[in-house]
Structures are given as C-alpha cells and as structure tokens.
Amino acid sequence: MAIRFGLLGAGRIGKVHAKAVTGDANARLVAVADAMPAAAQAIADQYGCDVRTIEAIESAKDIDAVVICTPTDTHADLIERFVKAGKAVFCEKPIDLSLARVKQCLEVVRAHKGTLMVGFNRRFDPHFRAVRAEIDKGTVGEVEMVVITSRDPGAPPVEYIKRSGGIFRDMTIHDFDMARFLLGEEITEVVATAAVLVDPAIGTAGDFDSVQVLLKTASGRQAMISNSRRATYGYDQRIEVHGAKGAVSAENQRPVSIEVATGAGYTRPPLHDFFMTRYTEAYAAEIATFIAALGGKGAAEPSGEDGLIALALADAAVKSVAEGRVVKLSEVM
C-alpha cells in the first residue's frame, strides 16, 4: 500500500521533493498547498495531484504524510499541527532558529508519538554515505579527526542573510550535522573564529561570511570546519576522516569530468555551481528513506533531535565567537 503524501510549499525545494515522491513506487502525491496558487497548480498539473489548502490537507483522510517546504518561520507550527493531525512529517531544516522553540516543538512531537524526519540532505549524498560506510566497516579504525570543507559558490542576498539566523545556523549547521554523522560520538566542545571577508554588507547585517570551527568530543575526537560564502571555483563540499587505521575522504563533484591539456596546463571544469545540482541524488535518497521508514524499513533519520543538536552547536559557535573562548555544548542546551 503506497504512502499518500501532501506537499506543503511548492517552491524550488518543493518541486524537488514532488519529483522524488512521484518517482517512488511506494508513494503517491495526493495534494499540494502553497500561498501562491500558481505555484501549487504547476505541480498539480505536472504530476496529476490536487491543489488544496493547508487546512484541507491537515484534515484529509487520504493523506498519510506531509513534506514541509514552507518558509523557516512556519516549520515548527506546521510540524505541531500535522503531528497532532496524525500525519508523519518530513520537514526541511531547520525546525526553527530558536533552540527554545525547537525544544517545545519536539515535546509536542513526543507527546503525540509523532514521526518527524529533518532534511539534512547531505547525509544522503552517495559519496558521503560511502565514507560513513567505510567508518562503519572499520576500515579507518577509531575515528580521530574529521575535516569538513564547505564553501558556497556565492553569497545569498543580504535580505536572505538577515532572516537566516546567521552563518552558523544557516550554513555551518549542515557541517555540524555531518561532523556528528561521522565522529561517532557526541560533540561536547565548540570554538570558532569568524570574519567578514567576502562582502562588508554581510558584516553590516550583523553576520560573518568566513568562519572556522573546531569541535571536540568527550574522548578527544576532533573535527574542524572551514566555511566561506564565496568560492569562485564552485560549490566546494569535501569531507575527510582520519582514524587509527587509515583515512577516507570524499572529493568534490563536477557536472562533467573531462580534462583539457594545453600549454597552460591541465584543466578540469569547475565544480557544481548550485546545491540542487550537487545534491540531486541526496534529495531523492532522503525522501526514499522517509518513505521506506514509513513502510517499516529503517529509521526516519535524521530525527528532530538531530535537528536540535545541530542548532545547539550553531548557538555554541555564536557564543564562542562573541566570548573568544571554548564553549561547552552543555552551556547552551
């Protein structure tokens, strides 16, 4: 019996998830809702589903699960409403920019024994999953040091930055989750440095565009993260894991892998220039994981709790920069 879906939000990422749901033999897209009727209608036309209001989806008998792709400030409310309505929920990250609000929301989920999966898509990238699989197989021995490089092709508009919660909560949060995914032990300490090097307007907006973070677990496992809002050479997304017995890494991805050789040297094309082309397979795989979990196969992870911890790490990084010191995660949780 196929899982019947409602899609909340028909924007850029909503379209990606609509395609993933309709392409899965174990799922069916029943309805889509969006504040912009034309956007919802376009998806309805393409995939032959209904346009409905959020309220109608909430009360629908023919819908088992929803995918929330609405603006960030609506996430926590919608999670609570749909969990209360008995729907399984897949929600784009973050649950909320306020740790307190996230905790409150997760309590509602727990109280209603709801299913909540959070969209940290990078865990589903096949290359990063293969790195994790090597760790799980023991190839590298006990994990000791993780290095994450994560740089965007270009900075988003300052208007976006202002509502983003800041670079640690908006961008580094993916890397915090990736560090947890790879370290195999909870992070207890955070310290960060931060600067404005890309665009002074980002500084004026109270944010940074170039940051570094060190993480440490109780037993001494460590991770470091390098973030920039601008990389002329494309979307720079690499991870390395060094362990007692060896190391494993995932290199950058590019649309085509040719090499041109001339008197100027050997040149490969730039990297992907957009997160949606870089993580195409990851977006499809995370929805497939959610559908499989609802069908009883595997867990609906990353969970709301994973979303909470990643946000707490971001809060700790903000505090670390403000106070020029190592911050324990327990100080902010």
Answer yes or no whether residue 172 interacts with a second copy by CB under 8 A: no
Cβ 82 to a second copy, closest distance in Å? 30
User: Which span sits near a second copy by CB under 8 A: 82-90, 179-187, 258-266, 294-302?
Assistant: 258-266
Cβ 323 to a second copy, closest distance in Å? 8
Answer yes or no whether residue 303 interacts with a second copy by CB under 8 A: no
Answer yes or no whether residue 230 interacts with a second copy by CB under 8 A: yes
Answer yes or no whether residue 233 interacts with a second copy by CB under 8 A: yes
Choose among 14, 5, 8: nearest CA to 53: 8
Cis peptide, bond prior to residue 94, ω within 30 of zero: yes
Answer yes or no whether residue 134 interacts with a second copy by CB under 8 A: yes
Cα–Cα distance list, 44 to 10, 13, 32, 61, 317 (Å): 10, 15, 7, 19, 42
For 166, how many CA atoms within 13 A lie in the half-sphere containing its CB? 22
Range 180-199, binding a second copy (CB under 8 A): 189, 191-193, 195-198
> Between 68 and 314, whose beta carbon lies closer to a second copy?
314
Answer yes or no whether residue 26 interacts with a second copy by CB under 8 A: no
Cβ 213 to a second copy, closest distance in Å? 8
Answer yes or no whether residue 136 interacts with a second copy by CB under 8 A: no
Is there a contact between 320 and 327 (Cβ–Cβ < 8 Å)? yes
User: Which span sits near a second copy by CB under 8 A: 5-13, 89-97, 167-175, 222-230?
Assistant: 222-230
Cβ 94 to a second copy, closest distance in Å? 25
Range 91-130, binding a second copy (CB under 8 A): 126-127, 129-130
Range 37-96, binding a second copy (CB under 8 A): 46
Figure out which of the listed residues 244, 297, 322, 331 binds a second copy, where binding follows CB under 8 A: 244
Figure out which of the listed residues 36, 268, 295, 297 binds a second copy, where binding follows CB under 8 A: 268
Residue 184 Rama label (left phi>0; alpha psi -120 to 50; beta): left
What residue spans of 112-248 are helical by DSSP H?
A: 126-137, 158-163, 167, 173-183, 200-204
Q: How far apart are CA 89 and CA 95, in angstroms?
A: 11
Output DSSP code: residue 239. E
Answer yes or no whether residue 322 interacts with a second copy by CB under 8 A: no
Answer yes or no whether residue 270 interacts with a second copy by CB under 8 A: yes
> Between 98 and 149, whose beta carbon lies closer to a second copy?
149
Answer yes or no whether residue 206 interacts with a second copy by CB under 8 A: no
Q: What is the dihedral of CA 195, 279, 76, 108, to 10 degrees?
A: -120
Choose among 74, 78, 16: nearest CA to 43: 16
Figure out which of the listed residues 228, 287, 309, 329 binds a second copy, where binding follows CB under 8 A: 228
For 43, how many CA atoms within 13 A lie in the half-sphere containing its CB? 31
Residue 150 Rama label (left phi>0; alpha psi -120 to 50; beta): beta
Cβ 254 to a second copy, closest distance in Å? 8
Cβ 228 to a second copy, closest distance in Å? 6
Cβ 271 to a second copy, closest distance in Å? 8
Q: How far apart are CA 59 and CA 195, in angstroms?
A: 48
Two structure tokens written together for 253:
């991805």
Is there a contact between 37 and 13 (Cβ–Cβ < 8 Å)? no
